[in-house]
Amino acid sequence: MLETMKEDGLDSVHGERAQVPLWVRGKESATLLEPRNQNLAMMGLGTSVGTSPEGITAEVLVVQSFDELHNRSKEALGKIIVYNEVYTSSGTSVMYRYHGAVQAAEVGGVAALIRSNTPFSIYSPHTGVQVYEDGVEKVPAACITVEDAEMLSRMAARGTKIVVNVKMEAKNHGLVWSRNTVAEIKGSTYPDQVVLVSGHLDSWDVGQGAMDDGGGAFISWQALSAIHHLGLRPKRTLRAVLWTGEEYGAYGSKKYYQDHKNEAHLMNIVMESDIGTFQPLGFRFTGSSEAKGIVSEIMRYMQPFNASRVLNDADGSDIEMWLADRVPGGSLLNQNDRYHDFHHSNGDTMTVQDPTEMDLCATLWAVVAYCLAEMDEMLPR
């Protein structure tokens, strides 16, 4: 990546070190033993502990919610907790992935199997990070498919005894060194003032990470590449940052913020793309009403592509620290209703990406970045 960027003639390309967690999945399996023998598709969740080589064999308690789990806590001791929380939104359902292991352990559960965080499934488990809490026993956690979660729920509703064996070789190896990748076109007039575009380079160890977040990384690189090849040099510096360690909790961007937060007054805007690069619809913006008016004028250039909408509230875990510092922020608004069909699954491959849609996303990214970098004044705070 660094060599490719240098060949494109950008002014500065370098890595900035950051420590990230190293978690290794290893071999894993889930097997239904009673009432019949059947392999269950599963994916361990990031940071989960593993099991002994023989695994954990236990009866299953199926619940639909955390409330039901705690109402039935007397039944949970020594059991594998299966969460069959029906998808309503990513923000709601992801809480079961994040906290399912802790909630299970608090009532004496020995492992947690969580229905995948997706509205659509073709027998596809979806992984992601989960979190432990100090003082609560760490139990293994994995996601299973929508189909299997519903099957186990039907069995439980009939009063059937369910026994499952879970084996996981997962191990946490502590923090290791990685890096954010930073590329720049130096500003001609105000080189210390920055328009930052970004996506994250890391992905889960399943699929190809093409959508999450290869697309966001690509359009951020392509924005600078296109502006350079057009022979343009705006007044302010254009900076692309490809973050590391986002999936484990924005490790790379947090380190970058710690190293550069004294430059907050020089950041004209920070932009992140991490919710797909499907057909662009417009731009999400966080900032003053006056600044939003300026961005709205810029977005008129995207009217021929039906991508000129401007909504409130930029989205992105890698830029939220800057937004809290009152730096204006932006994120891509796109037609991403299929995003969670593929998110964190083996289905996140290049087949999901449409070259024309990605080109349009890169165009929007480049237009907004260049115009804000070329203005005579910074965006009003």
Residue 6 has pLDDT above 70, yes or no: no
What are the strands, taking DSSP E only, across 35-170?
Answer: 38-40, 42-44, 56-63, 80-83, 111-115, 141-144, 163-168
Predicted pLDDT at 5: 45
The secondary element (H helix, E strand) that includes residue 12 is strand 12-24
DSSP character for 173? E
Neighbouring CB atoms inside 10 A of 348's CB total 25
pLDDT surpasses 80 at 8: no
Q: Regarding the domain delimited by 2-22+174-374, which CATH topology (the fold level of the hierarchy) does it fall under? A: Aminopeptidase (3.40.630)
Catalytic residue among 246, 247, 272, 320: 246
Contact in structure between 96 and 146 (CB atoms under 8 Å): no
Backbone angles phi, psi at 13, to 5 degrees: -135, 125
Question: Does pLDDT of 7 surpass 60?
Answer: no
Q: What is the pLDDT of residues 21-42, one digit of tens each?
A: 999 999 999 999 999 999 999 9
Q: What is the C-alpha separation between 223 and 14, in angstroms, rounded?
A: 17
Give 242 or 2, the one with higher predicted confidence: 242
When pLDDT is averaged across residues 128-133 and rounded to a whole number, the result is 98
CA distance 215 to 332: 11
Give this prediction's pTM: 0.94
Pairing state between β 280-286 and 309-312: parallel
Starting at the edge strand that comes first in sequence, how are the strands of the sheet with 267-272 ordered? Answer: 12-24, 171-185, 236-243, 190-200, 267-272, 329-334, 280-286, 309-312
The rounded Cα 135 to chain-centroid distance in angstroms is 27
Greatest extent of the chain over all pairs of C-alpha atoms, in Å: 73
CA–CA–CA angle 369, 373, 378 (5° rounding): 120
Q: Which amino acid is at 333?
A: L
Is 246 a catalytic site residue? Answer: yes
Radius of gyration of the chain (CA): 23
| Domain residue spans of the chain | 2-22+174-374, 26-169
Question: Between the CA atoms of 208, 211, 215 and 216, what dihedral angle is there, to the nearest 10 degrees?
Answer: -110
Q: Which residues, at least 6 apart from 151, have a Cβ–Cβ distance to it below 8 Å?
A: none
Q: Write out the two tokens for 195.
A: 């328009």
CA–CA distance, 372 with 366 (Å, rounded to integer): 10
- Residue 122 is inside which H or E element, if any? none
pLDDT band at 4; cut points 50, 70, 90: very low
Mind listing the pLDDT tens digit for each residue in 69-117? 999 999 999 999 999 999 999 889 999 999 999 999 999 999 999 999 9
Distance CA 27, CA 24 (A): 10
Amino acid 3: pLDDT: 46
Give the span between the Cα atoms of 176 and 282, in whole angstroms.
Answer: 37
- Quickly state the pLDDT bin for 55 (edges 50, 70, 90): very high
CATH class of the domain comprising 26-169 = alpha beta
Q: Which two tokens stand for residue 160?
A: 């059937």
CA angle 55, 60, 63 (to 5 degrees): 130
